[in-house]
Amino acid sequence: MRKGQVTIPSDQDFFDATKTLIDKWGADAIRDSDGTKLDPELKTLSMKFYSTYFVARGHNEFAASHPAAVQQLYLMSERVVAYTPTLTIGLMAGYYDQQIQPNWRDNPKTYWEVIDRTTGMVVKPADWTVDEASQSVQLSAAIPFHEYTVSFLADMLWDPTEMYNHLTNNWGDKPHDIPFDVRDPAARDFIQSYLKQWLKANPEIDVVRFTTFFYHFTLVFDQHAREKFVDWLGYGGTVSVAALKAFEQIKGYRLRPEDFVDAGFYNSTFRPPTQRYLDYIDFVQRFVTDQAKILVAMVHSADKEAMMFLGDNWIGAEPYGPYFKEIGLDAVVGSVGSGMTLRLIADIPGVKYTEGRFLPYFFPDVFRPGNDPVIEARANWLTARRALMRKPLDRIGYGGYLKLAAQFPHFVDYVAHVTDEFRDISDKIADTIPYSSLKVAVLNGWGKLRSWQSFIVAHGKRYEQTYSYEGVLEALAGQPVDVMFLSFNDILATGIPADVDVMINVGSVGTAFSGGDIWQEPRLVTLIRQWVAAGHGFIGIGEPTATAQPYQGRRFQLADVLGVDQELAFSLSTDRYWDQPMGENIAWITKDLTLDFGTGTPNLIAVADAQYLRYGREQLRMTVKDYGAGRGVYIAGLPYTLDNARLLLRAMHYAAHKESILMQNYATNPNVEVHVYPGKGLYAVLNNTHDKQNSELFLNGKHTVVELEPDEIRWEREPQ
């Protein structure tokens, strides 16, 4: 088996063992990690060397001498009820004082807000004072039994990722990395001059891995040093007085603290974005692009490659944003926690190559006595491999501390299997287009900007309440369909792309993913109804097209398309009769599948002429409905399982009136998937389980039977 396309970490005093693993895993590149240094002897090897480069952290001498340049964010105090007209609100209650402190430099009367949360009214600055000594705000004219908060600017004194690594790996009295803001002119000059010096001092480094550029995703810890608020896509850590002034000059209006605090929701990616927040995102992305491309040009002038890590300080450099290509990066690398996150990295446009960091990280929380890291590694590879068959990464690798991984021989052997199998896949399908039977558009409030990023925390982690939804994108990541991401504003501005066969709207009511009150827009629902009636498919999962309150008598605004609505007790006096048989169409979609609807969606009611499936305690779980020449399909929830992925695949083809196309390249066993590569005359059959599997195969009208070993990929020539 050939070598290459693999990056591994290393450390000091580990030269001989590293050489052994280089050979076993076929690695051609070595990287350092946060808290490690490469052994000087490694540089005698004929390898490519990556160096982690922190732009706006790890320079405490500069940060300490320029306190005004520290990064900031808006935070909201705890909610406090007034019992008398005088009220004291402590700012730091619930926050970790080693991470953040209030910003007393910039006039609180100008940049803070006190809000009566009972009325939503802003309290006049004349009615409150600040006390730096007690880190509090005192109100003098509070209304008894009203609830109040303070929105205040805070300094970020400890980089959140370095803090996490510090605490996870017990780094003891190692100094805390203080992040600083590139908007400060002195910081900008320092960043550029330091990089210039660093490039000269490190001629042996081939790839500068920016981790990342300037602004960390929103991550705030509580008083016990636990995560308090984390939004992997959050722009909370980008704010400063300089940013507020620049925004007003460029966009023509002034932002309020509430535009960031958002009543304590902090513009979570689940919130339907306001136009003001979208304007701010655009403003930050433009600035980050302009500054980042200066650094990338410096790297290129030193004959090195510039790589961006998809995480940590990546805010403003979103790869699917409108300005990202202008940065001029050679590569993007990110952590692969699922098929969905693999596609997030592999699909990035405008770079020469993409690289995935597979799990587990070589950290002591996994590589500890008595634990078997192969369990996580095997699950991670098998899940990601489905997506790799649709869009391969150019490189893979691992992160953390190689000394830990080397203590687990079984894990070392398994990684050798992964790297060999990855290179084999790459050799066979790189630069070829896989067969697709459908074009699918995922419809939500973010569209292309947040491609493959619905419902995730980071690296494939999930929120408990999105269990029933995230399986949709995970299923799509490895299915033989082309996937695009569409926003509601896209449809309103330019309509629905002509080549889309099926549209999917999935999520909880009121969120950016379901849509919220955008569904009260008559043009939106009219355009989609017309499109479905013309012969297309619309699939809703969870609480699709739903408004917070019933609008014109409907909760689901496309109930007529989906064949289902949701009862909110307003029509309990209306009789419902459940006497219709399931119907042959639902029977075809669900045949021989063990289904998991997750937490489901309660109180669903079928609309006239819909076929429906009742499942478990007689709750409605699925509907299908003809709509003109098109079809609607509703599913109450769809966690990721192989059977659920097959359910979605069948439902999409049914909705698009393309059931016969489904059978063109198809495995009857849902644990088995077929990927066809017409340009290479190849097809691959995947066993996505750790057990032996048998399946019938249909390939270009030819029928056969296959037996697969656990985890096997079977490559064959495409039948003629």
To which H or E segment does residue 289 belong? helix 275-301
pLDDT for 617: 52
Buried b (16+ CB within 10 A) or exposed e, 365-390: ebbeeeeebbebbbebbbbbbbbbbb
Positions of the chain with pLDDT under 70: 1, 34-36, 459-460, 615-618, 720
pLDDT for 33: 73
User: Residue 355 pairs with which residues in a beta bridge?
Assistant: 333, 395
If you ran DSSP here, which 8-state letter would residue 213 be given?
S
Structure tokens at 448: 């292309």
pLDDT for 720: 66
Q: φ, ψ for residue 670 (rounded to 5)? A: -65, -15
83: amino acid identity, one letter: Y
β-pairing, 439-444 with 482-487? parallel
If you ran DSSP here, which 8-state letter would residue 271 be given?
S
Instruction: Output the furthest CA–CA distance in the chain (Å, rounded).
Output: 84
Structure tokens at 329: 């990066």
If you ran DSSP here, which 8-state letter would residue 112 be given?
-
**Cβ atoms 398, 354 nearer than 8 A:** no
User: Residue 331 pairs with which residues in a beta bridge?
Assistant: 307, 353
- Distance CA(442)–CA(455), nearest Å, equals 13
If you ran DSSP here, which 8-state letter would residue 274 be given?
P
**Which residues neighbour 365 within 8 Å (Cβ) at sequence distance 6 or greater?**
168
pLDDT for 32: 82
pLDDT for 591: 95
Closest CA to 542 of 577, 518, 566, 524: 566
- Distance CA(117)–CA(122), nearest Å, equals 9
Closest CA to 430 of 389, 459, 491: 389
pLDDT for 35: 65
Radius of gyration of the chain (CA): 27
- Distance CA(710)–CA(551), nearest Å, equals 51
What are the tens digits of pLDDT across the range 333-381? 999 999 999 999 999 999 999 999 999 999 888 999 999 999 999 999 9
pLDDT for 463: 83
User: Residue 677 pairs with which residues in a beta bridge?
Assistant: 682
**Cβ atoms 490, 523 nearer than 8 A:** no
**Cβ atoms 643, 594 nearer than 8 A:** yes
- Distance CA(327)–CA(96), nearest Å, equals 35
3-state secondary structure of 651: helix
What are the tens digits of pLDDT across the range 115-134? 999 999 999 999 999 999 99
pLDDT for 575: 78
Closest CA to 195 of 293, 298, 289: 298
- Write the DSSP assignment of 498-525 as a string of letters: TT--EEEEEE-TTSTTT-GGGGG-HHHH
pLDDT for 1: 64
To which H or E segment does residue 611 belong? strand 611-615
**Which residues neighbour 370 within 8 Å (Cβ) at sequence distance 6 or greater?**
none
The crossing angle, in degrees rounded to 10, of helices 470-477 and 642-655 is 80
A 10 A CB-CB count for 394 gives 16
Catalytic residues: 312
What are the tens digits of pLDDT across the range 165-210? 888 888 888 999 999 999 999 999 999 999 999 999 999 999 999 9
From residue 588, alpha-carbon distances to 151, 649, 651, 654, 659 in Å are 55, 12, 9, 9, 10
- Distance CA(384)–CA(459), nearest Å, equals 12
Q: Is 276 exposed, middle or buried (0-12, 13-18, 19+ CB in 10 A)?
A: middle
User: Residue 714 pairs with which residues in a beta bridge?
Assistant: 685
